[in-house]
Structure 1
């Protein structure tokens, strides 16, 4: 994900198929935990590289990226330092376009390419300022469109034939970007081909008169997964989008949610299909009011309370008996026939 600054929307979203994307973020002023400039790269939604103005170096994040030659990282570091200077200028220009002289502001750029299974490709290039869309590239006509009034001058200048900005972007997205994507995929081939079985957890939470069911699927690899809720074996339509998100260890996670009205005799189950599974993984959701283990726990607690009560009563009776004189014939201490006292010698 792109760095969120002052409410910035997520501009970097993973796409289907194999993808390579870069996100650059610049902020206008220091005095906060964020670096003034940061660049991150992703392959299939997994972060592979990072450059920060705090360190001034491009470094590998995904372990398999360390296989690239040291010369690669030196060149990327030089490119990162040049980009840092350019983006610092971009945020200042943007501030002047919005008549801003101070405060914390941010400028973001996102671009990338996708290589589909049929061999076709797709690219995109977007800019944002202070969390809002600023400028975008039309990848059909290869011209830039302003998404705010302040971006009109930039779009006009970039679209001039002598600038060749759209043409250069086209060359990169259709050629260089795809070539680098293939290179990174080759280096990470072993990682990409590994299969990790998903863990599944289902839960329910009241939502008014209905119940919100959640199916959390996590720790799986590769990315492609199919998760659905079913009612008595029939699919339950859901209006909520299901986003596959990357984990720091290279695996993925997803949560599928539906809203239902629980009925007697009706079962709800989460169905997970993944390449690491030999068959569909089915996890049944059981309401707390119908869980057998719930009554089992209640029974154990009740038995424990009864035993503890009798134990306290027995201790109390024993202590009371010991505190009485031998002549006492309290029926509370002797449930059987009274024992005769021993004869007392007189002096």
Structure 2
């Protein structure tokens, strides 16, 4: 059944119109199957598809329906969704069968997780690529080797070696996976991008925010670039207008719900009087490099805060000392008065 479905979608894709993408894009599918061998319920599977890191499709075992998470996907041919839903159901059963085979050999008695990451991409020069990786209980397990064109075990476990060898003995199955990855997946992505560009501006300029925290010896600089589209962007810190400062912390390019992206780049530099720093951003929506200078008002000084804390601590200590002195004096006076009273009441006969 899987090969016939793959062939039908593949032929449909090859006959459809292809767009030329000026920017890189990714289409990823993440299959997650969870099963408790001790439980009475069958394994449960969830499939999430993401275009440029934004979820667009979802399939859950309990619903048995493919859900579109973006309105613009309604412009795609309905037959595509029917075929894709059949493929999802086929691989749901296949992965549930695999997890039941693997779990006894892994000695996981409470909960077992089996994952498959399948995806493809289109580069800026319109070249394409793809990948398929399998994970078992949070570890790499098997992957589809693009050069050797067969499944390879990622680990030396006997279960992975046996399963990879078994899959490779079915040449039609291996060929089908390469057809999905290298041809069908790419065509699906082109079809999605073809309708998506009508609803979203091609180029959206980034917003940039810079700030820092300075101590006597070091200064931590942060540059947040957000609200931009498409995804590719280059962000770096520059010292004195010319020296590139390599970042020691860079977040992934994260998607916003509105389809734009954000990234944060941070670096720690020595605090030297006279040095200036600026964040430089390159993006397809900009004609030139966008530069934002880090001014004095963008920097918070931890030493000032420490000084303030020391002042508060000093005040507190002085207050405690005053209280101690007062209490000590009162206690001395009380003892002295008590001594006098004792002497008065204990006169010799």
State how far apart, in whole Å, the 1-side matches of 2:180 and 2:87 are: 15
Structure having the higher helix fraction is: 2
The reply to whether residue 265 of structure 1 matches residue 271 of structure 2 is: no
* 1:302-323 deviation line (CA, Å, top 9, x unaligned): xxxxxxxxxxxxxxxxxxxxxx
Taking the aligned partners of 1:287 and 1:38, their CA distance within structure 2 comes to 50
Determine which of 18, 28, 40 is the counterpart of 2:25: 18
CA distance in 2, matches of 1:206, 1:87: 52
- Matches of residues 58-137 of structure 1 in structure 2 within 5 Å? 58-100=66-108, 102-137=109-144
Shift of 1:111: 1.3
* TM-score for both structures, normalised by structure 1: 0.70
1:185 equivalent in structure 2? 193
Change (3 A) 1:73 1:175: closer
- Relative to structure 1, the CA distance from residue 87 to residue 159 in structure 2 (aligned partners, 3 Å threshold; closer, same or farther) is closer
Decide whether aligned partners of structure 1 residues 140 and 290 sit closer, same or farther in structure 2, where only a CA change above 3 A counts.
closer
Structure 2 runs not aligned, ≥5 long: 1-22, 305-349
- Aligned equivalents of 2:279 and 2:263: distance in 1? 12
Aligned to 1:9: none
* Shift in CA distance, 132/209, structure 1 to aligned 2, threshold 3 Å: farther
Taking a change above 3 Å as real, the CA distance of residues 194 and 17 of structure 1, as seen in their structure-2 partners, is closer
Q: Summarize the Cα distance change of 1:90–1:279 in structure 2 as closer, same or farther, 3 Å threshold.
A: same
Q: Indicate which of 275, 281, 285 corresponds to 1:276.
A: 285
Query: How many angstroms apart in 2 are the aligned matches of 1:282 and 1:252?
Result: 19
Give yes or no for contact 1:123–1:174 (8 Å, CA) kept in 2. yes
| Cα distance between partner residues in 1 of 2:271 and 2:215 | 11
Q: State the Cα deviation string for residues 75-112 of structure 1 (Å, max 9, x = none).
A: 33333333333322222222122133x21221100111
Match of 2:165 in 1: 156
**How many residues align structurally?**
272
Q: For 1:237, which of 233, 243, 246 is the aligned residue?
A: 246
1:252 aligns with 2:261: yes
Larger Rg over CA atoms: 1
Asked if the contact 1:267/1:285 (under 8 Å) is kept, the reply is yes
